[in-house]
A and B are shown apart, each in its own frame.
Chain A
């Protein structure tokens, strides 16, 4: 009787669960398809390789967190293996006796051999998961019921699999595959099931069959509505993610007169890539752990903003999918809402979140798009920025200095200008800091001295140079940024320099990664890279090496935005310096607090980021901190002043340290 009904029962349960699953996932896919933006799939071989490495080989979850990563890898691989058996169980439930053995008993044997190990691996991973959530409880981890529930689900799934196998052994004592149950056989013996009656064995098998099946089907029902949606979305998100560290923000086409919205105000405007990002997040919190805003008490957490955006998007899912009253969908930034303007303005665009995300989410993109909306559509931004915007409009620098005086810093250095020396080998793009800021002018002077020492044929743009656009762009004023960019592009294209040397990582990054979209593709180098070559080729003789211990600070825009961690370190080492590295370095280097135009905004909430960073740097008790960015130099110097350590510790640019090592400083 039971065996007659069972296929129908299994079919009914499966039909119910699968229909619900497909209905839910279809809604999610439809929501994503309703999002603006086209799909361009380029560089397929590279993407496939990355997919294999990060998804199948699981390298991205083990990066920075090997133990958690191993636990995840065991669960992931285990599931891949066990899912085959689960499908087999479903088929067998409908067509009694149809198993892998029907195709090949040997294959089946080897499969259960592997799956016995896989299940114990999953249980091990789950056990660690419980330990982490119940005992370690890291702050950055969203530790809700959702996560614990899924662990219980998974554990039950594995235990029921062993239960099923253990009762199958006495049920069919002569089955070929029994000798392959490397773990289930001793387990069965341990529980004294070897001599079990066939009716007990049958009852046990069926009981665990149904526990296992209901867990699997429960999973299907549960996943689309939970953070465990990442089981479906993380893999495609990784496949479509950005290849390499270089990133340029989306360029707004201001010539397009049909544009009515600048930046992103509400969830209908999120492009599909961002929607997939939201689906892919499982709230692991690795981003929040690294975020300078989150760790200093700001309202921004990259994990939370992604979660809040997802909640907002899903709350409008029906309206968006059915193309209802889209105009009635409110903006996601609300003064009293989860995403307040303070959340949006707290970001330093340091990209620690994006680099630490195992599934390739770009947390900064919606923040910048939101700033674009706030600034351009609503003219709502921190008051300090108005002066910055006006200065950029009128003087082409964020600071109030006459544009005329841009080349004054080098009047006595005999630096040529491109207008009088068109064929110069190297265009030294000084930047606003090097041109106007008293501290950074000294760095610019050191660079000029080093270039002259190496007999480099270089020139600067002088008055023709304008801010590269970084602060305006990151502050959301895309329109202003593009005015600056376009004027610079025209100037650069007039001179067609072979190499552009930038001493500010912000200039370097924008010129290198963002200018190509505006028609200026040049070989752009940061001074750490350029000077390293000159030292390596012997063009800068170092006759006064020091053996001082120095702490080095990675800048975000040279490091995470461009992947350059080695050149400045190599340069310091060639100057004889002993590097005393801090914990948060390279990809985990902590921002100084000035990126994302935060340099020009007041920091009134929580602890100041520069103080957090300065404390870490000075804990090494070195007399010198080395930096490669004028903003970092300013911020850390301010941090030292705040701690009254300005007489004990000095911040120097790597160029200044190198100049000292030449003995001709």
Chain B
């Protein structure tokens, strides 16, 4: 039973965003790269599935440049069996990534479940899961908080706006995209970190799967940083004075009332 987890390596959440001198991309030279936190839930879910199903093997896949190996090793240390890097250029967009992931998975054999995170925290596009499922011709349930795995189908609960839960049933094979809260991702033990360092990461080139740079559908231009937030203003005096001042400011300075 082949289980796949797709992960993305993203800059750490605390990274300071800088725009490259050409203005058309971000300068991430000094960034610390981590596994996308949503993908950690996906990896954890895959490993838990494996722990309950002894015939399952988990393959973790990441599409990107050389650096993504670091994220793959983190997933291996958590408990994935195999890792696969699809050599994608830095400027690959969601479409190309989805296609490359789908083709790599298809090349590995028949997938049982493909886990992903609901979105990546860098561009927050939330495109790859659904597009990849389409290329794989599988159903996909995203923003999943809880899933029960039957023999041939999956029952998944997904979170929708307002805190409500939608329940879905999907036939296997299918794609499940994890939401925060699906589980508590584990911290890798040291022996597993050491073992993960020695594992071979399989490299898949674009030629291997027949994907070309033509698949890039989006190009970026003219990045600007959002305007800096103005400091807050503390109002003095008792409550009636403060209230009057607040209304005056909202009307005269902010011009919102």
Q: In the bound complex, how far is the Cα of B37 from the Cα of A400, in angstroms? A: 14
B220 at the interface (CB under 8 A from A): no
Main secondary structure of the interface of A (DSSP, over half): helix
Q: Contacts A395-B32, A404-B30: A376 and B14 contacting too (C-beta < 8 A)?
A: no
B14 and A402 within 8 A (CB):
yes
- Please indicate the chain B residues that have their CB under 8 angstroms from the CB of A394 in the complex: 12, 14, 32, 34
The interface residues of chain A lying within 8 Å CB-to-CB of B32 are: 394-395, 403
Chain A-chain B contacts (Cβ-Cβ < 8 Å), number: 42
Interface positions, chain B 1-29, Cβ under 8 Å from A, are 12-16
- Closest residue of chain A to B18 (Cβ to Cβ) is A404
Q: Which A residues are CB-close (under 8 A) to B184?
A: 383
Interchain residue pairs A-B with the least CB separation, the first 9:
A376-B190, A402-B14, A379-B187, A394-B12, A379-B189, A404-B16, A394-B32, A262-B190, A395-B14
Please give, as numbers and ranges, the residues of chain A lying within 8 Å of B188 by CB-CB distance: 379
Other contacts beyond A386-B187, A402-B15: 13, CB < 8 A: A376-B189, A377-B189, A377-B190, A378-B189, A394-B14, A395-B12, A395-B32, A400-B13, A402-B12, A403-B14, A404-B15, A404-B30, A479-B193
In the assembled complex, A401 has its CB within 8 A of some CB on chain B: yes
For the complex, what is the distance from the CA of A383 to the CA of B186, rounded to whole Å? 10
Minimum Cβ distance to chain B for residue A94 (Å) = 60
* B16: A residues at CB distance < 8 A: 402, 404-405
Query: Can you pick out 23 interface pairs between chain A and chain B where the beta carbons lie within 8 Å of each other?
Result: A260-B191, A262-B190, A376-B190, A377-B189, A377-B190, A377-B191, A379-B186, A379-B187, A379-B188, A379-B189, A381-B187, A394-B32, A395-B12, A395-B14, A400-B13, A400-B14, A402-B12, A402-B15, A402-B16, A403-B32, A404-B15, A404-B16, A405-B16
Chain A residues, CB < 8 A from B187 = 375, 379, 381, 386, 389
Q: Chain A residues with Cβ under 8 A from B193's Cβ?
A: 479
> How far, in angstroms, from A581 to B219 measured CA to CA in the complex?
69
Q: Which of A375, A383, A402, A405 has most B Cβ within 10 Å?
A: A402
Name B190's contact: one of A401, A402, A405, A479 (CB within 8 Å): A479
Q: What count of chain B residues pass the 8 Å CB interface test? A: 16
Q: Mark A384-402, 1 if CB is under 8 A from B, else 0.
A: 0010011000110000111
A260 to B187, CA, bound (A): 18
Contacts of B190 in A (CB 8 A): 262, 376-377, 479
In Å, the complex CA distance between A394 and B30 comes to 12
Residue of A nearest to B32 (CB): A394
Encode B177-218 as 1/0 by CB contact (under 8 A) with A: 000000010111111010000000000000000000000000
Q: Taking beta carbons and an 8 Å cutoff, which residues of B are in contact with A?
A: 12-16, 30, 32, 34, 184, 186-191, 193
Q: Which residues of B contact A383 (CB under 8 A)?
A: 184
A260 to B194, CA, bound (A): 10
List which A403-421 residues lie within 8 A (CB) of chain B: 403-405
Closest Cβ of chain B: how far from A157's Cβ, in Å? 53
Residues of A within 8 A of B12 (CB): 394-395, 402
> Nearest-CB distance from A483 to chain B (Å)?
11
- Taking CB as reference atom, which chain B residue is nearest A383? B184
What residue of chain A has the Cβ atom nearest to residue B14's Cβ? A402
Docked complex Cα distance between A401 and B12 (Å)? 10
Give the shortest distance, in Å, between A529 (CB) and chain B (any CB).
34
CA distance A627 to B230 in the complex (A): 36
- B191 CB contacts on chain A under 8 angstroms: 260, 262, 376-377
Question: CA of A158 to CA of B196 in the docked complex: distance in angstroms?
Answer: 67
Q: Which of B14, B34, B189 contacts A401 (CB 8 A)?
A: B14
A622 to chain B, nearest CB (A): 31
- Interfacial residues of chain A within 249-265, with CB under 8 A of chain B in the complex: 260, 262
Chain B residues in 8 Å Cβ range of A395: 12, 14, 32
